[in-house]
A and B are shown apart, each in its own frame.
Chain A
Amino acid sequence: MTLAEVVLGAAFLGLVAYALFGGADFGGGIWDLTAGGTERGRAVRERVERSIGPVWEANHVWLIFVMVVLWTGFSGAFAAAVTTLYVPLTLAAFGIIGRGAAFAYRKSVGTLGMRRFFGAAFALSSLLTPFFFGAVVGGVASGRVPPGIAAGDVVASWANPTSMLGGVLAVLVCAYLAAVFLCGDARRDGQDDLAAAFRTRALGAGLVTGAVGLAGIAVLRADAPLLFEGLTGRGLPVVLASVAAGLTALVLLWTRRYTAARIASALAVAAILTGWAVGQYPYLLPASVTVEEAATGRATLQALLVALSVGSVVLVPCLVYLYVLFQRATDART
């Protein structure tokens, strides 16, 4: 592996972490949206709030982390991508603001009307934000971002079949992950009826995600031939691994083994993202800019590598402490 590939790999790991943790947060909001009226949806909403309350800000920093590594290590390609795709990115950023602020503030307001308003803002932006991120990925992966600042079509780069597929898949994956994670959380807190409800949601979302993924193959074949070739050629083992992990996760859900289902689901999502990365390798912007061409100077990449290594040594124990404290405290209360 070259230095550039190692740094890009680190950014990619950050992206996977964002998809898993941030994605589950978004998914929580999606289930909040579909939970029904104030009374009927109360149990689901409280469960979602309890599960993501202390961790949502930390989960979110993964995204900032991916962005800053990309703009430092792959400045030109980053500038090209964010200017061509500035519309969905701006909308996603607004979604993050609306979602974060609404979630944070709704606990602190008294009246039911205000709570409903914040709740709706939180839930709706939980749906839109992953959609726009998925559309951004679709735009890059289908080769709609040429090199050069704002050189691509600012509308067609994300309003296209592959981007729509990416957006819908991102929403479904978030919903699926959240449901799987919430199954375990609910059972741990002795809420067996809620666990069963999330199990049904997880199974449903998993099946729909699989079906859309299958149909998506046809979309990619027509709209993004290069990615299709990569996914069915070099990336095929990873894609198959993702399918296998996804099916395993569904079986584990069916048999109510929630902890194992979490791991299998996380693997399935990580594998499908890896499939995308392998599928478009060696291009950062298919099919014009390769990873090596996009990489900045050696001293910068080395500095990044040092910072990433030292930073993870600091960060990982902190993160583990947060999750352990949170889980233990929840256990102690029940």
Chain B
Amino acid sequence: MWEVVDSGNLLFARNQMALSLGWHIVFACFGIAFPAIVVFTEWLGHRRGDPVLSGLARTWAKAMGVLFAAGAVSGTLLSFEMGILWPGLMDRFGEVFGFPFVLEGFAFFVEAIFVGVYLFGWNRLSPRAHMLSALPMVVAGVAGAFFVVSANAWMNNPVGFSLDADGNVVDARPWAAMFSPSTWPQFTHMWLAAFMVTGFLVASVYAVGMLRGRRDRHHRLGLLIPLAVAAIATPVQIGVGDWIANTVADNQPAKLAAMEGQYETTAGAGLSIGGIYVDDELRYALEIPYGLSLLVHHDPDGVVPGLEEFPADQRPPVNVVHLAYNAMVLIGTALLGLAGWFGLVWWRRRRLPRTDWFLRAVAVSGVGAVVAMEAGWITTEVGRQPWIVYGLMRTEDAVSPAAGLAWGLVAVVAVYAVLTVFTVIVLRRLARGRETLAPQEQEGVR
């Protein structure tokens, strides 16, 4: 075993990883949720013989092709960065938690193949065969998400191995490592988040169109279908949020304490919203009495451990975690309100709310859902610090000491800036013209 020296690369590597992951995850959401929405719309259009629905499915399929390409290339970079930036993690624990990435490799392979088949085969296959070809894509997208999230859940809650006296891994059990107690709550949370991000984001595009006066059936249905999907996912997500908060409380009490900015171990702890954490105290926060104890223990007098229980060098950066967590919950609640408004009017009147304020709310809901998801990932990733493998390996011990690594961050910022600009340009063109081609399609055959 060799000594890994602290090299000052930590800050750069963490930011490079955060940017790469934060960028990729938006496209991954579309890889998980969009195939199901697109093929559902295609099926509906086919069954009802409705050209507007079929046209929507066609447009969305093209967008899906572009988003999939962006997700594929950014995911490739991530698979490089896992080793290049965090060799200590790979070296010591690769045999324990690397395995789900292999399964994800297969899932992604299947998804890539069938995205190709689905787009390329639009007019070449019978409608039935074409819709069937989408099923492997739908399943593989969800399976892939499960595998990747299970690796992250393992970092939060490492299981499936033993350590010898020197701290070396013996008896790695990769199947068991995939099913840590955090795996199912984290996966369910991410899976629903993917439907919320995709649903609200696609709906918001059509809401903007309607606000600009394009209120035809194409736009109404384009808003209705994804919004309905997101509106169903949102209340379920709030319930899942409770489940995952309990998992965190059980397994990562320091993360929970940071999420709440809670320094002192307290019985009957209040739920703090906002504020700034200075000198071991959360100031200017709004407190809901007994809220936290109720949330975590479903008991107003439950004891919640505070950050004082942990040595100073084992506490996560509190302000980032607390504010990110608050942002996620706040936006999630607002989205729940929007979903409720939409659901209520639809249930009573079978139509969309007529006021422009509803369209304005939908128009910002997409960006809101993305911010909420990113805030959620910041909460779980920064909240795990200073550990890369909770309780076992510090992030600073995993980072590569290679000279010049900091330049990687500069390069990644530049590459993603350019990529973002072009992705937006191409998506805007796709939204404007049906004649524009997705990457997997070919000219001359439509």
A331 to B113, CA, bound (A): 20
| B79 & A108 in contact (Cβ 8 Å cutoff) | no
Measured between C-beta atoms, what is the minimum distance from A143 to chain B in Å?
18
B170: contacting residue among A63, A97, A297, CB under 8 A: A297
* A-side contacts of B93, CB under 8 Å: 75
B116: contacting residue among A55, A105, A300, CB under 8 A: A55
* A-side contacts of B90, CB under 8 Å: 71, 75, 78-79
A290-333 residues with Cβ-Cβ distance < 8 A to B are 296-297, 299-300, 303-304, 307-308, 311, 314-315, 318-319, 321-322, 325-326, 329, 332-333
Chain A residues bordering chain B, tally (CB within 8 A)? 71
- Contacts from B to A (Cβ < 8 Å): 2, 4, 65-66, 68-70, 72-77, 79-84, 87-88, 90-96, 98-99, 101-106, 108-110, 112-117, 119-121, 124-125, 136, 169-175, 400-405, 408, 411, 415, 419, 422-423, 425-426, 429-430, 436-445
Stretch among A28-36, A149-157, A251-259, A279-287 lining the B interface? A149-157
| Known interface pairs A64-B105, A296-B95; A57-B171 also in contact (CB < 8 Å) | no
Measured between C-beta atoms, what is the minimum distance from B346 to chain A in Å?
34
| A100 & B73 in contact (Cβ 8 Å cutoff) | yes
16 of the cross-chain contacts (CB-CB < 8 Å) are A69-B102, A71-B101, A86-B402, A92-B80, A97-B74, A97-B76, A100-B69, A100-B73, A104-B439, A105-B422, A107-B439, A147-B2, A151-B2, A304-B102, A329-B121, A333-B445
A332 to B444, CA, bound (A): 13
A282 to B173, CA, bound (A): 27
A325: contacting residue among B79, B121, B171, B442, CB under 8 A: B121
| Known interface pairs A55-B116, A149-B88; A107-B441 also in contact (CB < 8 Å) | yes
A150: contacting residue among B65, B87, B113, B439, CB under 8 A: B87
| B88 & A79 in contact (Cβ 8 Å cutoff) | yes
Q: Classify the interface of chain B: helix, strand, loop or mixed.
A: helix
Q: Classify the interface of chain A: helix, strand, loop or mixed.
A: helix
| A72 & B116 in contact (Cβ 8 Å cutoff) | no
B87: contacting residue among A82, A308, A311, A315, CB under 8 A: A82
* A-side contacts of B72, CB under 8 Å: 57, 60, 100
Flag whether A90 is at the interface (Cβ < 8 A).
Answer: yes
A83 to B89, CA, bound (A): 12
| B102 & A154 in contact (Cβ 8 Å cutoff) | no
Measured between C-beta atoms, what is the minimum distance from A135 to chain B in Å?
15
A50 to B120, CA, bound (A): 11
- Contacts from A to B (Cβ < 8 Å): 50, 53-55, 57-58, 60-61, 63-65, 67-69, 71-73, 75-76, 78-80, 82-84, 86-87, 89-90, 92-94, 96-98, 100-101, 103-105, 107-110, 118, 147-151, 154, 296-297, 299-300, 303-304, 307-308, 311, 314-315, 318-319, 321-322, 325-326, 329, 332-333
| A75 & B105 in contact (Cβ 8 Å cutoff) | no
B115: contacting residue among A57, A109, A303, CB under 8 A: A57
Interface centre among B113, B136, B442 (most CB of A within 10 A): B113
| Known interface pairs A68-B79, A78-B83, A83-B87; A299-B173 also in contact (CB < 8 Å) | yes
| B437 & A107 in contact (Cβ 8 Å cutoff) | yes
| B110 & A314 in contact (Cβ 8 Å cutoff) | yes
| Known interface pairs A90-B408, A104-B69, A149-B400; A64-B79 also in contact (CB < 8 Å) | yes
* A-side contacts of B84, CB under 8 Å: 82-83, 86, 89-90
A75: contacting residue among B95, B425, B437, CB under 8 A: B95
A98 to B415, CA, bound (A): 8
* A-side contacts of B103, CB under 8 Å: 307, 311
A84 to B87, CA, bound (A): 10
| Known interface pairs A90-B408, A150-B402; A297-B109 also in contact (CB < 8 Å) | no
| A97 & B73 in contact (Cβ 8 Å cutoff) | yes
| A93 & B80 in contact (Cβ 8 Å cutoff) | yes
Measured between C-beta atoms, what is the minimum distance from B137 to chain A in Å?
11
* B-side contacts of A332, CB under 8 Å: 124
| B120 & A61 in contact (Cβ 8 Å cutoff) | no
B94: contacting residue among A50, A78, A319, CB under 8 A: A78
| Known interface pairs A64-B105, A151-B2; A303-B83 also in contact (CB < 8 Å) | no
* B-side contacts of A50, CB under 8 Å: 442
